[in-house]
Chains A and B, each alone.
Chain A
Amino acid sequence: MSDNAVASSGSTAGTSPAEDEVLAELTAPVPEVGDGGPEMIQLLTPEGQRVENTEYDEYVKDLTDEDLRGFYRDLVLIRRVDAEATALQRQGELGIWASLLGQEAAQVGSGRAMRPQDYAFPTYREHGVAWCRGVNPLNLLGLFRGVNHGGWDPNEKNFHLYTIVIGAQTLHATGYAMGIQRDGDVGTGDADRDAAVIAYFGDGATAQGDVNESFVYAAVNNAPVVFFCQNNQWAISEPNERQTRIPLYQRARGFGFPGVRVDGNDVLAVYAVTQQALNAARSGNGPTFIEAYTYRMGAHTTSDDPTKYRVSAEVEVWKHRDPIERLKSYLVHTQKADQAFFDALEKEGDELAVAVREGCLSMPDPTPDSMFDHIYVEEHPVVEAERKEFAAYHAGFEGEGSH
């Protein structure tokens, strides 16, 4: 069930809409839905037809059928995790969930372009990137369930903690890239050593000062960082035209590095474009801005109601550009995957969903006094004094209620 469907049924529950409301909906002009324009890099059409591209074909030419099935598996499984998390929120098991529905290809294509030594700085919606980096989805659920603020070791999978303040992580990513430069891990030609950083953010974040400052710092330092913007068309309720007067990828030029728009629902194109950008960064050619043109099919989060600000006709247009359907179509008509593969994957998805659900439900609550842990590395007198006060206060209730 999509958030959209939930919200729609919620908004019409109770009373029937008045006649003029129905008429208004029926006669409303279909919004102009952008298609990314001629500059957008696309290797697979929405119908799953392969489009040749002299610049980017080389980045996908070595992909085996197994690799392509692997992409498809990633897309399907992370959508399944996402759907399960949305359901868990609806059942009260998560406080909130930020769905990635519709953005799977942007995240899987870029995530699979990374090498182990590369580093990702995510927002709070990069579940697909986390999946590609090997981060357990339950780590992500823990944050939204409220048992911690993240809590995973970012250095284990080179996947930083989710950052909730919009755009702040782009500066952290740039600083990290400056550290890579100082470690000499750029431009050595050693494929296992040269490293780059990807900073993820959305179209809304491009208005933030932090994001613009990170462009400046990355540019003047020639830092090995790829700015990966998922333009999902909506910053909660604010459409693109409230954020920018020019296509976002064109902004990069003003900062002094290349910008490229890619079909964010085309996993092959995203993979190719991100490979190119990461290669440039690792080899010492500095930052690239990638605008992955995509769409947020669901709500901003489970607390949002998109029927308040966008029309369903727009969502319908984007349904035809679905990232999973187009890759499936390609795999089928090129006979790179058979029915047995799809059946097995469905079964794997079911099992994964069960594991995610069970893992979520059995997640232990943090012990109350654990909130005093890890505020400082070194012992801190105020923290320790309050920890003792807290323990003494609760010890005062011991034995109460037993008679």
Chain B
Amino acid sequence: MGSMTIAKGINNGLRAAMERDPKVVLMGEDIGKLGGVFRVTDGLQKDFGEDRVIDTPLAEAGIVGTAIGMALRGYRPVVEIQFDGFIYPAFDHIVSQVAKMRARSLGKIKLPMVIRIPVGGGIGAVEHHSESNEAYFAHTAGLKVVCCSNAEDAYWMIQQAIESDDPVLFYEPKRRYWDKGEVDESAAPRPLLKAQVCREGTDLTLVAYGPMVKTCLQAAEAAAAEGKNLEVIDLRTLSPLDLDTVAASVEKTGRTVIVHEASTFLGMGAEIAAALQQRCFYHLEAPVLRVGGYNLPYPPSKLEEEFLPDLDRVLDAVDRSLAF
């Protein structure tokens, strides 16, 4: 039991997975000596060597493409993409090869690999460093997509993703990397593919994942001061979606607001809203509302506070739902 940051949680989780299974290898740009630009892999090359913590050339298609080959040879590569906006050169390999290889072989081979992606904005970065592109990959059959929001999940979920025999895209909320939380390394972990009710409530369900979980918890806290009792769900897994947990909550509260940094147009919220109106039609007291990024290229950082959902925008949607 100890308090650690999300970045350290992932670091410790990677270390545990590497100690357990010699086939686990890390690949990425600057992940060795430097420990990654966010220091998530800090110290791992020193302890596990250059053959298992591989500093790659600066070419993302090459990283994912060679990781596929390593997986075919029996390794479990964990790939780091330095920033969300740099995943696109590897998009073809992820969508055309990683996702489809098992079906192509009629189940004769598997491709256990993890692609780690620091995601989202709020760090005052230049273009391409603040994107939320999870819906592209959640849309692609053959991939699993998960996103941690706290240190404990960071520690456990990265290990579970590595143990999965299916390829997993592992999103890390970069602006929360340095948020601390308690991690019990001896406790039994929650299942990887389950959502988590992280605050119980009766009036409305806030659904979020990654960086927006903290925002929603703060919103629920503020709403409580006004006598509104909000439930907050951390989705944790985006593909597959744990709709059972979300639907059970919405059937209880009758109202829901879905919050993410990604543009709302065809984002995760669109799928969740469609599913909820099918599953919870007679329980809904108000339309399903979404709060997210606008349908724009991510703006210059001086404007990102206007672009990203914050406490006030979440509470505004909560008020609109409750007033319906």
**Which A residues are within 8 Å of any B CB, using their own CB?**
148-155, 160-161, 163, 165, 168, 170-183, 209-210, 213-214, 216-217, 220, 373-378, 380-383
Contacts and interface: CB of A to CB of B under 8 A. Distances in A.
B94 to A, nearest CB: 11
Contacts of A175: 65-73, 77
Interface stretch (B107-115, B129-137, B146-154): B107-115
21 contacts: A150-B105, A151-B106, A153-B105, A153-B108, A165-B96, A171-B62, A171-B69, A172-B68, A174-B65, A174-B69, A175-B65, A175-B69, A176-B70, A178-B66, A178-B69, A210-B92, A214-B62, A373-B106, A374-B106, A376-B142, A376-B144
Contacts of B93: 168, 171, 210
Interface in B83-129: 89, 92-93, 96-97, 100-110
Contact of A210 (B57, B65, B102): B65
Q: Which one of B69, B97, B166, B240 has the greatest number of beta carbons of chain A within 10 Å?
A: B69
Given A374-B102, A374-B105, 13 more contacts: A154-B109, A161-B104, A170-B65, A171-B69, A172-B66, A179-B74, A213-B65, A220-B57, A375-B103, A375-B141, A377-B110, A378-B165, A381-B240
* 8 interchain residue pairs of minimum CB distance: A175-B69, A171-B65, A179-B73, A175-B66, A374-B107, A213-B62, A176-B69, A377-B165
B25 interface: yes
B75 interface: yes
Nearest to B60: A213
B294 to A, nearest CB: 28
B70 A209 contact: no
Contacts of A380: 240
B196 interface: no
Interface of B: 25, 51, 56-57, 59, 61-62, 65-75, 77, 89, 92-93, 96-97, 100-110, 141-142, 144, 164-166, 239-241
Contacts of A376: 102, 142, 144, 166
Contacts of B68: 171-172, 175
B108 A154 contact: yes
A160 B103 CA distance: 14
Contacts of B51: 181-182
B65 A168 contact: yes
A160 to B, nearest CB: 7
A208 to B, nearest CB: 9
Contacts of B110: 377
B240 to A, nearest CB: 5
A375 B37 CA distance: 34
Contacts of B67: 175
Chain A interface helix/strand/loop/mixed: helix
A206 to B, nearest CB: 15
Given A171-B61, A182-B75, A220-B57, A375 B69 contact: no
B288 to A, nearest CB: 19
A148 B106 contact: yes
B61 A209 contact: yes
Contacts of A180: 73
A382 B240 contact: yes
Contacts of A154: 72, 105, 108-109
B197 to A, nearest CB: 18
A213 B62 CA distance: 6
Contact of B70 (A150, A179, A210, A381): A179
Nearest to B97: A168
A153 B108 CA distance: 5
Nearest to A175: B69
Given A209-B61, A213-B61, A216-B57, A377 B104 contact: no
A226 to B, nearest CB: 14
Contacts of B66: 171-172, 174-175, 178, 214, 217
B61 A183 contact: no
Given A161-B104, A161-B105, A174-B69, A210 B61 contact: yes
A172 B109 CA distance: 14
B72 A149 contact: no
Contacts of A170: 65
B97 A172 contact: yes
Contacts of A381: 240
A376 B141 CA distance: 9
A375 B59 CA distance: 28
A148 B65 CA distance: 23
Contacts of A174: 65-66, 69
Nearest to A171: B65
A204 B34 CA distance: 38
A213 B104 contact: no
A220 B27 CA distance: 14
A149 B73 contact: no
A182 B141 CA distance: 31
